[in-house]
Amino acid sequence: MASFLEELWSSVFTPGPTPTLLVATNASFACLQFLLLCLLLATYSAHFIVLSLICGSLWWSINWFVRELLSARAKEESDIQKQKETSAEPEKVPLGDSDTETEPSSGLMKPPSPRNTPASLKPKPTDAEEALRKRRSMGDSSGYISTDSEWEKVSNNSEKDR
């Protein structure tokens, strides 16, 4: 029993589902279902039926998720194994007229090289865009930039109201 608890404690800090953690989870859900059954028989309350259904669906979904994780891990390992096997065997790549040269293939595509656009081809910002950029860098973090004409409208409206 002590070794099970030690394994359970260490499995909490191990990524992925471990057999010890699965046993503890399934035992906990089984005890909870038994407790809910006992409470149902003692009280005849429909609440315990609903709680038992919720508990059963959570129990099933946890086990389903663990199965999916294990199958995804197995598929990933088989893909890695296949990739290692294909990269270990040199592949014949024709270079020019000679078919005798071989190069190993990694099976992976290289990322495209970044395109460098010369500064002369980039559009130059207009004066309004430049002024807007300068105002934004001044420290106004609200994202709203007012203009002088808006303040004039406000002052004109307040003068008309008087």
Q: What is the pLDDT of residues 120-134, one digit of tens each?
A: 566 676 777 777 777
Whether residue 56 is contained in a domain is answered as yes
Whether residue 45 is contained in a domain is answered as yes
Question: Stretch 36-44: mean pLDDT, rounded?
Answer: 96
How confident is the prediction for the chain on average, in pLDDT? 80
**Alpha helix (H) ranges present in the chain?**
2-12, 19-43, 46-88, 127-137, 148-161
Cα 34 to Cα 25, 62, 103: the distances in Å are 14, 18, 64
Predicted pLDDT of residue 56: 97
- Residue 103: strand pairing partners: 91
Whether the predicted pLDDT of 8 surpasses 80? yes
Other CB atoms within 10 Å distance of the CB of residue 48: 19
- Stretch among 2-16, 39-53, 61-75 having the lowest mean pLDDT: 2-16
Whether residue 43 is contained in a domain is answered as yes
Q: Could you list the residue range(s) of the whole structural domain that residue 22 is in?
A: 2-87
Residue range 69-123, pLDDT digits in tens: 999 999 999 999 999 888 876 655 555 555 555 555 555 666 666 565 555 566 6
Predicted pLDDT of residue 153: 75
Whether residue 94 is contained in a domain is answered as no
Which two structure tokens, joined as six digits, stand for 2? 């002590």
Question: Stretch 59-69: mean pLDDT, rounded?
Answer: 96
pTM for the predicted model, two decimal places = 0.50
Whether residue 46 is contained in a domain is answered as yes
Question: Stretch 5-10: mean pLDDT, rounded?
Answer: 90
Residue with tokens 């078919």: 99
Whether residue 39 is contained in a domain is answered as yes
Whether residue 130 is contained in a domain is answered as no
What total of structural domains would you count in the chain? Answer: 1
Whether residue 100 is contained in a domain is answered as no
Where residue 47 falls among pLDDT bands split at 50, 70, 90?
Answer: very high
